[in-house]
Structure 1
Amino acid sequence: MRHVVIGGGVGCARYVRGLREHVRRTGADGEIDVVVNTADDWWVSGLRISPDHDSILYTLAGQNDDERGWGRRGESERVSAELSEWGATPGWFTLGDLDLATHIARTSWLRAGDSVSDVFARLGSRWDLGATLHPATDHEIDTHVVTADGRRMHFQEWWVRERAAVPALRFEQQRIAEARPSASALESLAAADVVLLAPSNPVVSIGPVLAVPGLRDAVLASGAPVVGVSPIIGGSVVRGMADACLAAIGVETDAAAVALHYGSRSRGGLLDGWLVAEEDPDAVAPVQSAGIACRSIPLWMRDADTSAALAAEALRLAAEIAAR
């Protein structure tokens, strides 16, 4: 069975880790592919930084810092501090020394002519990840934010320095109209038995993936059931500032509202199924009324058991949908 996950960042990383755990525990003969958002990538001090990819890479490799939620465990930050002293990096954007090594390797390969897909493969070959990571596109589509006070800035500046406190009017992926899906992303979707939307930020992690011309069509053309997991629990975001992103596109911070934003596949949208938290039972009826199969279950991924259980529920719902 081929599982294809779409997303990026910490929520996606933990979800894929749970899916991997479920596959290993059940002894299922299954492959896991992850189509990763690259729209929050950017250039810093001549280095290409890829936060969503690296969160997933480090988590699956067992190298992530669970306390901070990003970067490598056992980090030091001497190089970042020195770069800041030289004025070569902004003081508000701190990178660990081990993390910087990843960025240096990535940048050297890109400058030597490797594609982003090539770099994903090289970085992923170091550890036994139990999954294969694919960029949504090999093109640079960095996200810029237009804010309510009239400024335009890179998404990372708005997210990390401003902490999303300045209201955003809109998010713009640069040159996305000319971008094309990576060949490996298309191949994985064409062979998918199930497509899973991770509980990632709907606006800046999953949204840009689906906005790459041709990629949304590839999801729908796969014929596989598409099941998503709500990133909203009890009317609040699980982590980060996704509520500020949702507000910018006029979507409430609500499990049902996010499902309706994606839309029902039977009515021209994307979703066949949607999982909401046990804290949000009232979300089930409006989602089902919109033509999306919906279940209310525990969504908190606290450990290997709860994460694997969530993945199992998503696959169970996908199997029910496929059997109809």
Structure 2
Amino acid sequence: MSVERVIALSGGVGGAKLVLGLSHALPAERLLVVTNTGDDFDHFGLRICPDTDTVIYTLSDLADREHGWGRTDESWNFMDAVRELGGADWFNLGDRDLALHVLRTDRLKSGESLSGVTNHIAGVLGIRVSIVPMCDQPVATVVETADGPLEFQHYFVRERCAPQVTGFAFEGIEKARPNPALISALEDQPAVIVIAPSNPFVSVEPILAVPGMRTALRDCGAPIVAVSPIVGGQALKGPAAKMMAELGVPASAVEIARHYRGFIDGLIIDEKDAHHMREITDIGVPVEVAQTVMSDLNDRVELAGRTVDFAARLRGGIKR
């Protein structure tokens, strides 16, 4: 597989799996990962960036594979002390993980941009892949529910995704601007843009909602390929299927194609959804069938290769 730069849009755990595969399938300097920052929030006075940190921990081989979030070999003395003092314990912060948030917050308060802090942390941890937040301006995903609006982490962690979803909002999005490093990479005419198998509503949409982002991605000329996060009617990770059902949308790869129709040039679906190929093609989205359930590193690398190869085949037929 020979390819120029690949740009991947990623949320947390599911997206990070494909990002890891891409990092093994490509030279590090040819991969740029754009992370969702709509999940970012302040907790105990610290700036927490869950999706960005998941990508960082995954690429540095520090991710806790059992939980799917946080650092491996973690200890929990801080959280134990918080509970003893009667503090809020709904969002777990491990002792090792806490160090990252403290240092990030300190550098941000000193005037450094989120991009600069992220680049520093990635470099210290030996990551050679470029990881760039979608923007440096703060954006907050709000989940609108039947019980009222909830900040994303309150919905996702504190309430365990229980409230019925009615919609989404992105506070601060009107002041956001696409990350300059991403714009620079787009001007260099990348070969492929990959939308990782992340939640389309709360992981990918915040990225695409940044003013000017969709146009910049579409106008760069690279094929845009999404990997469906829905397999056999279920989300492998997170509440995407539940959200779709509550919004009155069937949880299927077909609906993922409809969601991205007009923006993507192709969709990769799992072998379990091969029977949807004709339906997806009929709505105007080219489709590729592959094993998208990534159980180990080999699966991640294999899917990464299939994704890039599919995009390469689409490249000649793009008309914009």
Whether TM-score is above 0.5 comes out as yes
CA contact (8 A) 1:60 1:130 kept: no
Match of 1:3 among 3, 6, 26: 6
The aligned counterpart of 2:84 is 85
1:176-187 alignment runs, 5 A limit: 176-187=173-184
Matched, 1:278 2:271: yes
Partner SS state of residue 125, structure 1 = helix
* Letter of the structure 2 residue corresponding to residue 62 of structure 1: D
Rounded Cα–Cα distance in structure 2 between residues aligned with 1:273 and 1:108: 42
- The equivalent residue for 1:311 is 304
CA distance in 1, matches of 2:18, 2:210: 23
Between the aligned partners of 1:5 and 1:250, the Cα distance in structure 2 is 29
Q: Is the 8 A contact 2:29 2:128 kept in 1?
A: no
Where 1:74 maps in the other structure, the secondary structure is: coil
Aligned residues: 313
User: In the alignment, does 2:18 pair up with 1:15?
Assistant: yes
Show the counterpart of 2:242.
244
User: Is 1:98 aligned with 2:103?
Assistant: no
| In structure 2, C-alpha distance between the alignment counterparts of 1:112 and 1:20, rounded to whole Å | 32
What is the aligned partner in structure 2 of residue 131 from structure 1? 129
Q: Per the alignment, do residues 145 and 313 of structure 1 end up closer, same or farther by CA in structure 2, a change over 3 Å counting?
A: same
**What is the identity percentage for the equivalent residue pairs of Structure 1 and Structure 2?**
38
Q: Which runs of 5+ in 2 are unaligned?
A: none
Q: Distance in 1 between matches of 2:40 and 2:57?
A: 16
1:154 corresponds to 2:151: yes
What secondary structure sits across from 2:124 in the alignment? coil
Correspondence 1:69 to 2:74: no
Matches within 5 A, 1:127-276: 127-149=125-147, 151-191=148-188, 192-263=190-261, 269-276=262-269
Contact in 2 for aligned 1:287/1:293 (Cα 8 Å): yes
Consecutive unaligned residues in structure 1, runs of 5 or more: 264-268
Deviation (angstroms), 1:244: 2.6
Tell me the C-alpha RMSD between the 2 structures: 1.4
CA contact (8 A) 1:3 1:30 kept: no
Alpha-carbon distance in structure 1 between the residues aligned to 2:240 and 2:186 = 26
Q: Is the contact between residue 272 and residue 321 of structure 1 (CA under 8 Å) also seen in structure 2?
A: yes
Give the deviation of 1:323 after TM superposition.
Answer: 2.7
What TM-score, normalized by structure 1, do the two folds share?
0.93
Residue 39 of structure 2 aligns to a residue in which SS?
coil
> What TM-score does the superposition give when structure 2 sets the normalisation length?
0.94
Q: For 1:237-273, what per-residue CA distance to the aligned partner results, in whole angstroms no more than 9, with x for missing partners?
A: 011111233345443211111111011xxxxx21111
Determine helix, strand or coil for the equivalent of 1:280: helix
Quote how far apart the aligned CAs of 1:122 are: 0.9
**1:85 Cα deviation after fit:** 3.2
- The 10-residue stretch of structure 1 (173-182 or 29-38) with the greater mean CA deviation from structure 2: 29-38
Does 11-20 or 282-291 show the bigger shift? 282-291
SS in 2 for 1:181: coil
CA contact (8 A) 1:252 1:258 kept: no
Equivalent AA in structure 1 for residue 250 of structure 2: E
Contact kept in structure 2, 1:227 and 1:318, CA below 8 Å: yes
Aligned to 2:288: 295
- Rounded to whole Å, the distance in 2 between the matches of 1:135 and 1:83 is 30
Q: CA deviation at 1:188?
A: 2.2
Alignment-derived partner of residue 266 in structure 1: none
Partners of 2:301 and 2:242 in 1: CA distance? 29
Per-residue displacement from partner, 1:141-198 (whole Å, max 9, x unpaired)? 111222202x222110110121111102222111111211111122223332100000
Are 2:315 and 1:322 equivalent residues in the alignment?
yes
Q: Check the 8 A contact 1:236/1:253 in 2, yes or no.
A: yes
* CA displacement, residues 92-135 of structure 1 (integer Å, 9 cap, x when unaligned): 11110111100001100100001111111111111232411111
CA drift at 1:87: 4.2
SS state at 2:26 partner: helix
**1:251–1:258 Cα contact (<8 Å) kept:** no
Separation of aligned partners in 1, 2:243 and 2:121: 30
Q: Distance in 2 between matches of 1:246 and 1:116?
A: 31
Partner SS state of residue 205, structure 1: helix
